[in-house]
Structure 1
Amino acid sequence: MTNFLTKVVVASSLLLSTAAQAHFQLVFTPQVIFERTSDVPLKLLFWHPFENGHVMDMVTPQSFYAVHKGKKIDLMNSLKPMRFKGSSNEGDGFDASIKLKRNGDYILVVEPTPYFEGSEDMFIQQITKSYLNKGGVPSGWEEPVGLVAEIIPLNKPTNVIAGSTFTGRVLSEGKPVAGAEIEVEYLAATPDMDTNSPTSTTATPPAGGTIVALSDANGYFTFGIPKAGFWGFAALGVGPATEYEGKALSQDAVIWIKAHDID
């Protein structure tokens, strides 16, 4: 009970601090569906993407890899430090890459080193998944990858249809989390892969602060997708770790999906 209450307090504190802006770990590439063998460039950023806002400094992640048909592909050697120029500041991030050889789903996973949020005197660790597909062949996008905190998609994350819904399930150490508070974020300005800066902003955050959903008794949540583009979901404080280097830690589960319009 004590550990559960600690998680609730940490998550609630973080929600209050991000009423106007939400921290979101990002593993980004503009194209997520590929027909042939491809060398895919990636960017790792810790950002406020809906507002095209403040960029936080990343340090080298604890791990960065892809999962393809149950096999882990280590991507740490592909990381190259870079500076991302946001609309209001610059921050440290990483360029990276992955080679897609075989057909199927590639689940990109970054387990970042916790970030210290000085204004709240606490650490944030957003364990993040993004998805790529080669050849149109499904091969495990709906499967957990064994993270201490993760969101399992119930809709194929590379081709959600704008105007439909997305459903996910929040897990902590493999078990569903009831009543998880999930922040919802839109990538309003996508990163330019060449200039390390945002493209033009295509959306404005709605009034009322951060969009939040709650998971049900079995860890499920559903959100209507109003617009094409990249959508992120962060289940706050659902991981088992609540402390890092003597400070409170919010260990979050993040997932990014791509929504498409139908012509």
Structure 2
Amino acid sequence: MRGQVIAALLFSLLPLSSVYGHFQELIPSSEAVHSPAEATLNFDIQFTHPMARGPVMTMQPPEAFGVVTASGQTDLLPALKAQPSGRFSAEYQIKSPGDHLFYLTPAPYWEPEEGVMIQHFTKVVVDAFGGEPAWDQLVGLPVEIEPLTRPYGIWQGNLFQGIVKKNGQPVPFAEVEVEWRNDGSISSVQDPYVTQVVKADGNGVFSYVMPKSGWWGFAALITADKPMRNPEGVDVPVEQGALIWIFAKPMQ
């Protein structure tokens, strides 16, 4: 009994980064644009633990930020603005109908507690004026989730399915971490409920029912083929994340 108490105390002293999942956030002010008055999107970009509401890790300037539309691919790096507490923001004006696939490649992040470099290739799809759908199109990221469920217009309680891909090919039995972006309405839960974990099948397909409205992050974690040099000059493993954000709306 005494040993169990000591073990529980030691576990409670572990930093959040070793208990909860890291998630690169790329959150637009809206997942769908229906009128010109809504056409200005504002993005909140941070590397954090969404369910725990922090801490926010300091981001270095991202390597890539852009959008893919029916007109092609547009570099949005110049739109990024550094914010306090290691965050970034950006503004984008929707000018045409159709799906907009926003993507972000952050600079690799050194996580000394896990001994890995972390780089989460992140995307979010915004529907604009109900135009031409292209929500299942791949951006071409090294690791990426191809949605099988349209990633917008989703009700709370809907099933989301996707295929985990690496270099365009499915990743069998990939592990996918899932977290809800806490809006402050849930203040305390036991650790296993913070980060949900599902496993893809042999074809790289995973499924998850979103039980609450709000933003949900799906991060398929894959070890890179090659190591990367950490700030101390040592070659270490690289955790590549294929990450997509989905908004579930309450049915009222």
- TM bin, normalised by shorter chain, reads 0.7 to 0.9
2:248 pairs with 1:259: yes
- Distance of 1:48 and 1:179 partners within structure 2: 24
Give the match for residue 49 of structure 1: 50
Shift of 1:204: 4.8
Structure 1 letter corresponding to 2:145: I
Structure 1 letter corresponding to 2:168: G
Shift of 1:241: 4.3
2:146 aligned residue (149, 152, 157) = 152
| Local SS of the residue matching 1:236 | strand
Structure 2 letter corresponding to 1:36: S
Instruction: Provide the identity percentage.
Output: 32
Structure 2 letter corresponding to 1:168: G
1:212 aligned residue (190, 197, 213) = 197
Higher RCO (CA < 8 A, seq sep 6+): 1
Give the match for residue 12 of structure 2: none
The structure 1 segments of at least 4 consecutive aligned residues displaced by more than 6 Å after TM superposition are none
Matches within 5 A, 1:1-263: 20-37=19-36, 38-69=39-70, 71-83=72-84, 91-189=85-183, 200-202=184-186, 204-205=188-189, 207-208=191-192, 210-237=195-222, 239-245=224-230, 246-263=235-252
1:173-225 Cα shifts (integer Å, max 9, x gaps): 00000010100010012xxxxxxxxxx34465555252101111111000111
Q: Which has the larger radius of gyration?
A: 2
TM-score by length of structure 2 reads 0.85
- Distance of 2:61 and 2:33 partners within structure 1: 28
Contact kept, 8 Å, 2:26 with 2:122, in 1: the verdict is: yes
1:48-75 Cα shifts (integer Å, max 9, x gaps): 1101121101011110001112611111
After superposition, the CA RMSD in angstroms is 1.9
1:124-179 Cα shifts (integer Å, max 9, x gaps): 00000112111122421111111110001111112222112100100000000001
Residues 50 and 123 of structure 1, relative CA distance in 2, 3 Å threshold: same
Residues 152 and 205 of structure 1, relative CA distance in 2, 3 Å threshold: farther
Shift of 1:242: 4.0
Query: Runs of 5+ in structure 2 lacking a partner?
Result: 1-15
Contact kept, 8 Å, 1:128 with 1:255, in 2: the verdict is: yes
TM-score by length of structure 1 reads 0.82
Contact kept, 8 Å, 2:144 with 2:166, in 1: the verdict is: yes
